[in-house]
Amino acid sequence: MKFTQLGCVAGLCLLAFRVDAGEVRAAVAANFTVPVQKIAEQFQADTGHTVKASYGSTGKFYSQIRNGAPFDVLLAADDTTPEKLGKEALGDPASRFTYAIGKLVLWSKKPGYVDAQGHVLQGKFARLAIANPRLAPYGVAAQETLESLGLWGSLQGRIVMGESISQTQQFADTGNADMAFIALSQTLKDGRTIEGSQWVVPRHLFNPIRQDAIVLATAQDKDATEAFMKYLKSAKAVAIIKSFGYDLP
């Protein structure tokens, strides 16, 4: 009898846990796709809340949010977009914080193709892929890098642009570009560097890629949203973020 009662109590607790659990609708910058999937999995295990994530370019998300897209939070690839959303009353300025600082790499699927100093950019190649600077902050960083190297003008005829950093990597992965400027996190899988060759771009060649998160005005489940934003700062989430090569403030 006692065991039955205990079982019922445990079952009621589990039921209550599930009833109280909510869902966070997150707009996530494409470079942070895999990290947020791992964070969301751990977040659900620890809190019961789930994360429904959409992935894409920060610029496109900005347009969608201005047009009323139903997201609770934005995990941008820059700090300026969340700042603008706060000023436009489309997000809560007090909730904004930097969850990661990105690193830019020049990557090729071909082993030995990209040298450790990036001199390949001054050689003969057919196509270089970058994310569209008007839509993606990593595209801005790529442009700034090429400008710092004095190559932006001379390479115009060989640059192909992706709508997001994910599509940019696909260009290089499928052979439609010889190499691509992408996020360091995209070259890491299970703690190891994927096949190919790469150059980690020195920080002085581009402005810091501060990636900010912000709660949006369209947020519905306040408890789940607040819990997720808090979880992004937790030791478990920070460990995952760092494992993908990101820095933190």
- Asked whether the beta carbons of 80 and 88 are under 8 A apart, the reply is no
Domain coordinates in residue numbering, the chain = 2-101+210-243, 104-200
Cα torsion at 143, 122, 169, 177 (round to 10°)? 120
Give the pLDDT confidence score for residue 150 in this predicted structure: 98
- Asked whether the beta carbons of 78 and 209 are under 8 A apart, the reply is yes
The residue-averaged pLDDT of 98-119 equals: 97
Taking all residues of the chain, what is their mean pLDDT, rounded to a whole number?
Answer: 93
CATH fold of 2-101+210-243: D-Maltodextrin-Binding Protein; domain 2 (3.40.190)
The token duo for 110 is: 């071909």
pLDDT digits (tens, 9 = 90+) for 167-194: 999 999 999 999 999 999 999 988 789 9
Give the pLDDT confidence score for residue 20 in this predicted structure: 77
The token duo for 173 is: 């992965």
198 class by beta-carbon count within 10 Å (0-12 exposed, 13-18 middle, 19+ buried): buried
Q: Which residues contact 211 (CB under 8 A, 6 or more apart)?
A: 29, 32, 75, 76, 77, 78, 79, 98, 99, 100, 101, 102, 137, 246
Q: Hey, what amino acid is at 170?
A: Q
pLDDT digits (tens, 9 = 90+) for 113-153: 999 999 999 999 999 999 999 999 999 999 999 999 999 99
Residue 220: how many CB atoms within 10 A of its CB?
14
Q: What is the pTM of this model?
A: 0.89
Same fold, 2-101+210-243 and 104-200: yes
Q: Which of 248, 245, 57, 137 is nearest to 74 (CA)?
A: 57
Q: Which residues contact 176 (CB under 8 A, 6 or more apart)?
A: 127, 129, 160, 170
CATH class of 104-200: alpha beta
Judge whether residue 2 has pLDDT over 90: no
Q: Which residues contact 231 (CB under 8 A, 6 or more apart)?
A: 39, 43, 46, 47, 237
Give the pLDDT confidence score for residue 190 in this predicted structure: 80
- Asked whether the beta carbons of 77 and 211 are under 8 A apart, the reply is yes
